[in-house]
Chain A
């Protein structure tokens, strides 16, 4: 038998694909910016907070890390309206993806913070820096530098995972591919194109983060 592939039918829908890529990038960017902040906050609360807070944050981190993202997304999008919180698909996706990266980032950041030599903190305190200054100026930059490779990998995983958001009709890349294949019945070609676009995105994202981390976050 002959298999006929028709990629032109998919590529002619490039505005849809482009819009999908824009949404995937938007989801990833928001997840990275807010999720990292959340992660740093949680790492600190888990290490320094009162017992109840430590337990709460620990439960959040373990719950997120040990359940699939798609279930978290469904719980937020389908489950929460019952409790009176009605969210648009886009809002639900943003919340889910931020909460997801936050939990993973918290564990990664914690590993970096724990590796800070005591003497550095003592030195910083003896220079009369406030605890906040000690953390943001002395502890955090080298900690982020140490765990940056793991962080970059996690952000790429979250970007790839954002493809699940199409299931609640967020118009990201995999949703675009699904839409195209339901119009022209070129399922295999659509998903090949989408997969290659994801591959390109993950390579570019990794390069960009490896470039941006040292310049914007912790100095070379």
Chain B
């Protein structure tokens, strides 16, 4: 049997951390783009579009991410496509992220006073111009902090991809702990690595929040 030193464990976990980071980035960027498209459709479209996207959001917010991952994994396979754990995880996390981000951003757009919409349409701005010059600049300011905050949820969410067999940090932890019989050390390290990844993001979100809304009290 090969003896694992502490450094071996940490080194292997750090290698797996790359995949956690990659999956988080893919989900966050893909989800952000999809979320933005959905937001646009929701603002520009009629009531039916609004209801449909509302349903989409509720579907993803009301079911566990774990079920979404399983459904993506077994759902794509149903079409006879051989799907890798990476593809299924990236797809499920992207859709999950898009549902949450589009809802967060919708709230930010709704926080722009109604008068701004009225004033800009009385200036004969088209919908796109209204969004571009009046609404989005104000909504973005409010949106940055909760968006960064949600990134933490995405990073933590990628841990569930381990369940469908994608080898990221958590799965690597399980595998190493099974070979070394040191679950305490291994999962301790895994937790600390997630913490090292998420805590700075949390702090940034908190800092941005304070900057947006000014000091409390």
* Chain A residues close to B by CB (< 8 Å): 1, 3, 62-63, 65-72, 74-75, 78-83, 114, 156, 160-161, 163-164, 167, 174, 177, 181, 187-188, 191-192, 194-196, 198-199, 202-203
Contact = CB atoms under 8 A, between A and B. Distances in A.
B198 A67 contact: yes
B181 to A, nearest CB: 8
Interface string B125-167: 0000000000000000000000000001000110110110000
B32 interface: no
Contact of A195 (B63, B80, B162, B183): B63
28 contacts: A1-B80, A62-B199, A66-B152, A67-B156, A67-B195, A67-B198, A68-B159, A69-B159, A70-B163, A70-B170, A71-B159, A75-B191, A79-B184, A79-B186, A79-B188, A82-B184, A114-B216, A160-B62, A163-B64, A177-B67, A188-B71, A191-B71, A191-B74, A192-B71, A195-B71, A198-B64, A198-B67, A202-B61
B87 interface: no
B33 to A, nearest CB: 24
Interface in B42-74: 58-59, 61-68, 70-71, 74
Nearest to A63: B195
Contact of B67 (A63, A78, A194): A194
A199 B202 CA distance: 28
Nearest to A196: B63
Interface of B: 58-59, 61-68, 70-71, 74-75, 78-80, 152, 156-157, 159-160, 162-163, 170, 173-174, 177, 182-184, 186-188, 190-191, 194-195, 198-199, 202, 216
A188 B75 CA distance: 6
B183 A199 contact: no
A67 B194 contact: yes
Contacts, number: 121
B160 A199 contact: no
Query: Per DSSP, are chain B's interface residues mostly helix, strand or loop, or mixed?
Result: helix
A5 to B, nearest CB: 8
Contact of A74 (B62, B65, B173): B173
A191 B216 CA distance: 45
Residue among A68, A74, A83, A194 facing the most chain B CB atoms (10 A cut-off):
A68
B14 to A, nearest CB: 16
Given A160-B63, A174-B67, A199-B63, A74 B163 contact: no
A163 B61 CA distance: 14
Contacts of B66: 163-164, 174
Contacts of B195: 62-63, 66-67
B198 A71 contact: no
B207 to A, nearest CB: 15
A141 B33 CA distance: 42
A188 B62 contact: no
Nearest to B162: A70
A62 B202 contact: yes
A66 B202 contact: yes
Contact of A187 (B61, B74, B156, B174): B74
B173 A71 contact: yes
Contact of B198 (A66, A83, A161, A164): A66
B194 A71 contact: yes
A112 B202 CA distance: 20
Nearest to A187: B74
B191 A67 contact: yes
A50 B105 CA distance: 40
Contacts of A67: 156, 191, 194-195, 198
The 4 closest A-B pairs by CB, nearest first: A68-B159, A66-B198, A78-B183, A163-B64
Contacts of A160: 62-65
A203 B216 CA distance: 34
Nearest to A72: B191
B62 A198 contact: yes
